[in-house]
Structure 1
């Protein structure tokens, strides 16, 4: 693969010590947490917002090998990456585009298993006027050369010996991306556990609460529903729409709720001893739901979040 001119030809990955080992490495809700302040009159760019986050040292060349219109506002890219590229479910990439000064920051919506099988990762990017997103929607084509560097402290990466947990995944809008990555990884863990006769990691359950404006903006809905149907005793979902006046397709109706995610819904899927909650969406949503979960008595160190707006 040709290395873009702004990269060193000797991109070699090596791991840095992670702030926490074992089951997860996460951003915690607490007085010492560094959150992304969105009230500033000048919105910080991706590199500023994530300056305190873990990121790999290596910057890898890559190229776009597929483009899918996921919705009217979201494009999903398939990106062929360097053989040494690696990531954990839920992490993001610094996204470097030749000729574009701003660096993009996008959570991967694929899982590590896809990378291992096909050598590709996927990003689902909503259109905005921000230069990297604008480039993806207006300029990017199959074959476009880019470069990526993995980062992020928000991921789920259990080892076979780690204790079983119940996952509660809560997403708003395109905040589904890292949580979909985690959900896909969870299904792969379930397959591995079946294939090993129960010797691999044994997850308790995973429930997804996902809210978007309308059913078209519920990204990956068919795959989410299919995963829940494949493992009905382990996976479940509640899909919410907040601004749709038209009827919902009949095959989606059993999974669709009108209105926002409720406290009652969250409470039904919280076990104070077993639940590990991942939240990703607009800051006001995350802040409100984080407070609700803590009011239930869920410990702060079991409420993990990522804010992208």
Structure 2
């Protein structure tokens, strides 16, 4: 995905993704569970009525959601993993409240048993085979607010695969280090905080996973800056006294999802400050 297309100012999901590939078939799904995750975000478990072979997605992709009596098509990132779909025939969404009709419907009208049509789409995703072929060994996920949604699926998928290969004593995949930078307004708006903390405790052999939280509207939980900035990224990714870290960034891939201005700032810092190529930075615009 090019930077120019992903940073579009269009706010309508259908307009913003008009030229992006999606599956041709719509599948009917039933809402099986609803949970209040944060003061402004609810999660939804959807069960496709057809077999899972009719739903195929890569971590990071989204769903077109067709809601009865709502003319606007919703667009929501899948927050669960492809393996979870295979095992349970369900997939998860996390929807932040807004007056936008699809989000408003999910928060105010959706109930257990409500039926919607869904269709997978999106070019912002984690492809394990492609990253292996590209020599990727290090992943940097950067999320702003509910931009954590597609990254949650990516992060969980990578750790899931690493844990399975380690437990089965199979050759481990190519990923050696994961770093997550997650910015939210307040502590209670850190969506998936518990799930992320559980992932840090997984036994994944040689995999290193570090998570950094940034709170922009209240005192941060540590002495670090309340906002992601260029200096933090340079200090995190490049140690001037360790030539190995400098060489290591050649094998780094960053996935970024958050507010438009945050994305523009972070891309500039990663390319101009850290020294990544544009091909090493993938981003999605959800505004």
Q: Give your verdict on TM over 0.5.
A: yes
In structure 1, the residue matched to 2:249 is 272
Q: Among 282, 286, 290, which residue is 2:259 paired with? A: 282
Tell me the CA shift for residue 202 of structure 1. Answer: 2.9
Q: How do residues 122-271 of structure 1 correspond to structure 2 at under 5 angstroms?
A: 122-159=92-129, 162=133, 163-231=135-203, 233-244=207-218, 253=221, 257=224, 259-267=226-234, 268-269=236-237, 271=248
Structure 1: tracts of 5 or more residues without a match: 1-26
Q: Quote the Cα distance in structure 1 between the aligned partners of 2:107 and 2:148.
A: 19
Give the TM-score of the pair, scaled to structure 1. Answer: 0.82
**What number of residue pairs does the alignment pair up?**
269
Q: Quote the Cα distance in structure 2 between the aligned partners of 1:96 and 1:283.
A: 26
Query: Cα RMSD (Å) of the superposition?
Result: 1.9
Q: Among 272, 297, 304, which residue is 2:275 paired with? A: 297
Cα deviation 1:131-169 (Å, max 9, x = unaligned): 000000000001000011000111112139643421000
Q: Which runs of 4+ in 1 moved over 4 A?
A: none
In structure 1, the residue matched to 2:241 is none
Question: Is this contact kept in 1: 2:136–2:252, CA < 8 A?
Answer: no
Q: Quote the Cα distance in structure 1 between the aligned partners of 2:18 and 2:68.
A: 22
Q: Among 39, 43, 47, which residue is 1:76 paired with? A: 43
Question: Is this contact kept in 2: 1:95–1:147, CA < 8 A?
Answer: yes
Q: How do residues 13-28 of structure 1 correspond to structure 2 at under 5 angstroms?
A: 27-28=1-2
Structure with the higher fraction of residues in helix conformation: 2
In structure 1, the residue matched to 2:31 is 64
Q: Among 12, 16, 39, which residue is 1:45 paired with? A: 12
Q: Among 37, 41, 56, which residue is 1:86 paired with? A: 56
Question: Is this contact kept in 2: 1:164–1:204, CA < 8 A?
Answer: no
Q: Quote the Cα distance in structure 2 between the aligned partners of 1:35 and 1:269.
A: 24
Question: Is this contact kept in 1: 2:8–2:285, CA < 8 A?
Answer: no
Give the TM-score of the pair, scaled to structure 2. Answer: 0.88
Tell me the CA shift for residue 272 of structure 1. Answer: 2.7
Tell me the CA shift for residue 198 of structure 1. Answer: 3.7
Q: Quote the Cα distance in structure 1 between the aligned partners of 2:42 and 2:224.
A: 25
